[in-house]
Homo-oligomer: A and B are copies of this chain.
């Protein structure tokens, strides 16, 4: 079996988003057991100038969505960052997984050299699809999933590494 660009993108993001759902569910269960409002978790952050948990989830969603859309050469759907409740935040993750499933293997595999152009802090950057995925979108995606985990752990949610990695 040869490696393919689809194999290192859609299933990786999908698995990570599945674990993010699992982690968010544990956060909600913890808040419910403690009798606290889950919106406190939504608005928690690790530093005053870092994103809140909500921002981490929205960013993980965007990283996966753009990560796949750009290497497939299609326009990503718009997911405005309007989630106001914990349930909406959970739905954002599900919606992202649903979108990934609509992207066809045939639009990704073999397109390692497709040009990807994006703006970062006002600078236009050009990548090949492969370099964009490996140097930008996968590290960026795992950054936001991990930081969501770290925010929840810092706020007392009982999580372990396997909740992030998943079952094998």
A interface list, Cβ under 8 A from B: 1-5, 7-8, 11-12, 15-16, 46-47, 50, 112-113, 120-121, 125, 127, 130, 134-136, 138-140, 142-143, 146-147, 149-150, 153-154, 156, 161-162, 164-166, 168
State A138–B7 Cα separation when bound (angstroms): 14
State A127–B47 Cα separation when bound (angstroms): 38
Docked-complex contact A3 and B1, CB < 8 angstroms: no
Contacts of A142 in B (CB 8 A): 138-139, 142-143, 146
Contacts of A11 in B (CB 8 A): 134
Q: Which of A113, A143, A164 has the most CB of B within 10 A?
A: A143
Contacts of A5 in B (CB 8 A): 3
Docked-complex contact B1 and A112, CB < 8 angstroms: yes
CB-based nearest B residue for A5:
B3
Docked-complex contact A8 and B1, CB < 8 angstroms: no
**Beyond A112-B2, A146-B143, is A134–B8 a contact (Cβ under 8 Å)?**
yes
State A168–B135 Cα separation when bound (angstroms): 9
Point out the residue from B4, B46, B120, B134 that lies within 8 Å of A7, measured CB to CB. Answer: B134
